Amino acid sequence: MMRKLSLLIAGALMGASAMSLVYGAPGSAANAAGSETYKQLAIFGDIFERVRAQYVTPPDDKSLVENAINGMLSSLDPHSSYMNAEQAQDMRVQTKGEFGGLGIEVTMENDLVKVITPIDDTPAAKAGVLAGDYIAKIDGEEVRGLTLNDAVDKMRGLVNTPIKLTILRQGADKPIELTVVRDIIKVKAVKFRVENDIGYMKITSFTEKTYDDLENAIDTIKKQVPDDKLKGYVLDLRLNPGGLLDQAVSVSDAFLKRGEIVSTRGRDPKDVTRFDAKPKQTDDINGKPMIVLVNGGSASASEIVAGALQDLRRVTVVGTQSFGKGSVQTIIPLGENGALRLTTALYYTPSGKSIQGKGITPDIKVDQPLPPELQGRDLTRGESDLKGHIKGADESKTGSGSAAYVPPDPKNDLQLIYAEQLLRGQKTDPSFPPNPEKAVLNQ
């Protein structure tokens, strides 16, 4: 008897995507291809052999096949792809919220590794790595010419082993040499603090630890601020690229007494899965008012949470248009521990809206100005801008997404300041507080 564990993911920690992981026996039944398809496959085989035999330098067979597979999948949409064994393992490790490394979130820009942010209390942060730094060399080897995955692989290694980074930093007149000692990185999925009479909670990603971290945050805030003094909560989902769908459902459930949270719909019209909140007398924050913050960096699982709480009129959403990632990818295990990431469904908010290519529209739009050093740069992020993306049912010419920027200093965070002023009654708006009796549901 085959055991199959289905782990649903909405979002990827290294980007904005939504996935459904299926662990079990590799391979599944498929419809028989037509004769024309087999002719095309024969042509592919012919080309493959000619490249192997006649290309000017001997190509790597494995790379040829992987690139051919990814070429096929990327032609479908931006989120379907093939993961080799190492990539598949990396994804599984990331969803646990605990991994080995330096503790930095990175991307590739101008052929260099750019530090998006160092994670608090990690080796990189302690060594002095800053957001915006460019890593030019890793242990003396030039980063130029490497892929992002290659560079990340080089930065990973055994715990307690050192690595030397050569960093280019704006304002520095010469490269900076830093030595960082690798360690186990335990990422806190929820950061929180008390802002006098308001509880602030920021979900950075949806890993296996998110709901537990959220419950700890709520309990701690309740202990620090008496109930009669607590004005409410801010749930910050900005710059959150997504993660595990079951965690997004659990997070939404924490703030609801009942109602549908999200539904997924596949190729077959009958293939509909619904996720509902558990009926209860009160929610985990005792019905206190809450503001949810979103921007162009809020994608997938974070949009599921924002969309559910917005449609059910539990919260007021403040900020700018979210990313608009509304498709679901199924991760199917393949031989040699690789995996196929294939788009198989779209998800919908309780009102039946698809956010694919549209995003979550905030109840109150509050723009966040860019600092002088970033002005003139396009920081807008949106699914609708991705080449080959699936056009959403509610997508318009306006598209999805907005600027993905949050000031490091809360004193400059206009969206957060606006949310706190609403909770304290210093500002008023017809959308706050929301009325649950006017929930928008799919009929």
Backbone angles phi, psi at 429, to 5 degrees: -155, 145
| Given the residues 325, 384, 400, 402, the one annotated as active site | 325
Give the C-alpha separation, 383 to 16, whole Å: 8
Active site residue 228: no
How close are the terminal C-alpha atoms of the chain, in Å? 40
For 379, residues 6+ apart whose C-beta sits below 8 A from its C-beta are 296, 370, 403, 404, 405
- Using alpha carbons, select from 147, 84, 88 the residue that is nearest to residue 113: 147
23 neighbors 333 (Cβ within 8 angstroms)? yes
Q: How many CB atoms lie within 10 A of CB 44?
A: 12
At which residue do the structure tokens 């304290």 appear?
Answer: 424
| Given the residues 311, 327, 354, 413, the one annotated as active site | 311
Active site residue 150: no
Q: How many CB atoms lie within 10 A of CB 160?
A: 10
**Length of the chain, please?**
443
- Using alpha carbons, select from 234, 271, 344, 288 the residue that is nearest to residue 9: 344
Q: How many CB atoms lie within 10 A of CB 256?
A: 23
At which residue do the structure tokens 């949106």 appear?
Answer: 382
Can you say how many angstroms the Cα of residue 371 is from the centroid of all Cα atoms in its chain? 25
DSSP state letter for 189 = S
List the structure tokens of 408.
Answer: 């490091």
| Given the residues 80, 263, 298, 300, the one annotated as active site | 300
Tell me which amino acid residue 371 is: P
297 neighbors 404 (Cβ within 8 angstroms)? yes
Q: Is 241 helix (H, G, I), strand (E, B) or coil?
A: coil
At which residue do the structure tokens 């997004």 appear?
Answer: 248
For 234, residues 6+ apart whose C-beta sits below 8 A from its C-beta are 195, 198, 199, 200, 201, 290, 291, 292, 293, 416, 419, 420, 423
List the structure tokens of 294.
Answer: 């979103």
Give the C-alpha separation, 23 to 333, whole Å: 6
Give the C-alpha separation, 255 to 315, whole Å: 9
At which residue do the structure tokens 């690789």 appear?
Answer: 338
Active site residue 300: yes
At which residue do the structure tokens 């920021």 appear?
Answer: 202
What counts of helices (H) and strands (E) characterise the chain?
9, 24
Active site residues: 300, 311, 325
